[in-house]
């Protein structure tokens, strides 16, 4: 049986999804995006999974959409609407990654280009191997950024850098990406998997519902006024204050013991 284009491994409360078309730097064809969508839905819906890692097999994280497949589609119908495929396959994936109620660690093990860079930036914690590279490849081939890049990138680096990165389409290295604010931490390539697993395990032991609410508040912040954001915080704090994990956190603090959060 051929290898699946995206692998799912579950270890306790941590799920790891690995993009798995290494010969083409994990470029995304229909098989990969469908499988990825299934895995993302599975881990997002499972309350026993409390943190997710997304990474790539081989020397690349993800080179974006498979251009050979894209060319074949255009050959069949030059006017075929690319947006339809984005809506059907890609949008549910990136939306779920950004909105799922658990933290996502992206472990960027090599080049992240085009839609692959969008997936990398969807991480709540983005960790890069030293040899990782980031490329807004779209303008190089006459396309515009998609799969959330125009939403994610300005939030990470600000408008000035986002414009230059997307228009000049220059590949940047991991250290530069960290300097610009796209990456939380850069580690040695041979430490990346361990660092991502350690970070995910740490997040999986934290109060999951509070982390989910932090994620929601931070997703909302750039489109809200201060007054609206204060309301978001107050609503979420009411919900957080009713969780079992909040009671446990306070009891552990007062009892001078480590908390045992259950994600409830």
**Residues 249, 219, 132: CA angle, nearest 5 degrees:** 95
Could you tell me the smallest distance in angstroms from the CB atom of residue 130 to ligand T3D?
Answer: 15
Contact flag: residue 63 with ligand T3D (CB under 6 A): yes
Sorted by sequence, the CB contacts under 8 Å of residue 227 that are 6+ apart come out as: none
Residue number, 17 or 135, with CB nearest to ligand T3D: 135
Query: Largest Cα–Cα distance in the chain?
Result: 68
Q: Which of 27, 54, 93, 236 binds ligand T3D (CB under 6 A)?
A: 27
Does position 71 interact with ligand T3D (CB under 6 A)? The reply is: no
- Does 164 participate in binding ligand T3D (rule CB under 6 A)? no
Q: Residue 153 or residue 204: which is nearer to ligand T3D going by CB?
A: 153
Residue 232 binding ligand T3D, by CB under 6 A: no
Q: How far apart are CA 6 and CA 116, in angstroms?
A: 14
Return the residues of window 32-61 that contact ligand T3D according to CB under 6 A.
none
Which of 7, 10, 44, 82 binds ligand T3D (CB under 6 A)? It is 82
93 binds ligand T3D (CB under 6 A): no
Least distance (Å) between residue 254 CB and ligand T3D: 51
Contact between 165 and 172 under an 8 Å Cβ cutoff? The reply is yes
Per-residue contact flags (x/-) with ligand T3D for residues 102 to 121, judged by CB under 6 A? ---------x-xxx------
Contact footprint for ligand T3D (CB under 6 A): 24-25, 27, 63-68, 70, 82, 85, 111, 113-115, 135, 137-138, 141, 143, 146
């Amino acid at each position: 049986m051929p290898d699946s284009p995206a692998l799912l491994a579950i270890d306790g409360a941590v799920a790891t999804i690995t993009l798995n078309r290494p010969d083409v730097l994990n470029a995304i064809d229909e098989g990969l995006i469908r499988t990825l969508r299934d895995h993302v839905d599975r881990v997002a819906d499972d309350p026993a999974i409390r943190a997710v890692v997304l990474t790539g097999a081989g020397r690349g994280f993800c080179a974006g959409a498979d251009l050979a497949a894209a060319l074949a589609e255009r050959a069949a119908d030059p006017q075929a609407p690319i947006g339809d495929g984005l809506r059907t396959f890609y949008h549910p994936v990136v939306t779920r990654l950004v909105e799922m109620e658990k933290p996502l660690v992206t472990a960027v093990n090599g080049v992240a280009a085009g839609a692959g860079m969008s997936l990398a930036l969807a991480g709540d914690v983005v960790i890069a191997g030293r040899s990782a590279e980031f490329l807004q490849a779209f303008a190089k081939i006459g396309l515009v950024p998609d799969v959330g890049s125009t939403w994610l990138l300005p939030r990470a680096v600000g408008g000035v850098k986002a414009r230059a990165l997307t228009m000049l389409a220059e590949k940047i290295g991991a250290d530069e990406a960290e300097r610009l604010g796209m990456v939380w931490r850069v580690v040695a390539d041979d430490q990346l998997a361990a660092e991502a697993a350690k970070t995910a395990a740490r997040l999986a032991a934290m109060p999951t519902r509070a982390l989910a609410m932090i994620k929601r508040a931070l997703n909302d912040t750039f489109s809200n006024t201060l007054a609206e954001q204060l309301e978001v915080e107050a609503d979420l704090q009411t919900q957080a204050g009713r969780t079992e994990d909040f009671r446990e956190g306070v009891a552990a603090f007062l009892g001078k013991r480590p908390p045992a959060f259950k994600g409830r």
